[in-house]
Amino acid sequence: MATTDRQATTLALAHALSAAERGLAVIPLSRAKLPALRSPHRNDPPGLPPCRGECGRFGHGVYDASTEPARIREMFAAAPWATGYGIACGLPPHHLIGVDLDTKSGTDSSAALRELALLHLFTIPPTVVVLTPSGGRHLWLSGPPDVVVPNSAGRLAPGIDIRGAGGYLVGPGSRTDHGVYATAPGSAHLPPAPCPVALLRLLLPPPRRQVQTSAGGSHGQGLIQFVLAAHPGQRNTRLFWAACRAYENGIAGELADALVEAGCATGLTEREARATIASAERMTGRGGV
Predicted confidence (pLDDT) per residue in 243-271, tens digit: 888 888 888 888 888 999 988 888 888 88
Task: Please check whether residue 112 lies inside any domain of the structure.
Answer: yes
Number of domains the chain contains: 3
Do 257 and 187 belong together in one domain?
no
Q: Is 271 within a domain?
A: yes
Give domain status of residue 289, yes or no.
Answer: no
Q: Check whether residue 17 and residue 80 sit in a common domain.
A: yes
Per the domain annotation, does 197 fall within a domain?
A: yes
Same domain, 244 and 200: no
Same domain, 121 and 155: yes
One domain for residues 218 and 173 = no
Q: Which segments within 126-181 are labelled E, that is strand? A: 129-131, 137-142, 152-153, 160-163, 168-170, 175-176, 179-180
Tell whether 172 and 222 lie within a shared domain.
no
SS3 per-residue string spanning 19-87: HHHCCCCEEEECCCCCECCCCCCCCCCCCCCCCCCCCCCCCCHHHHCECCHHHHHHHHHHCCCCCEEEE
Which residue range forms the structural domain that includes residue 108? Answer: 89-205
Domain final position from 157, 186, 205? 205
pLDDT, tens digit, 9 for 90 and up, residues 32-49: 999 999 998 888 887 778
Q: Is there a single domain that holds both residue 103 and residue 13?
A: no
pLDDT at 285 over 70: no
Q: Is residue 41 a part of any domain in this protein?
A: yes
CA distances from 201 to 3, 88, 211, 270 (A): 47, 21, 19, 32
43's CB contacts (< 8 A; 6+ apart) are none
Same domain, residue pair 97 and 189? yes
The reply to whether 73 and 27 lie within a common domain is yes
**32 in a structural domain:** yes
- Stretch 80-99: mean pLDDT, rounded? 96
**What is the mean predicted confidence (pLDDT) over 199-207?**
81
Residue 93 and residue 201 in one domain: yes
CA dihedral 36, 42, 47, 53 (to 10 degrees): -40
Where is the domain boundary, 152, 173, 205? 205
State residue 278's pLDDT score: 86
Residues 163 and 266 in one domain: no
What average pLDDT does the segment 124-132 reach? 97
CB 105 within 8 Å of CB 153: no
Among candidate residues 205, 225, 248, the one where a domain is terminated? 205
Contact predicate 154/241, CB 8 Å: no
Residues 179 and 189 in one domain: yes
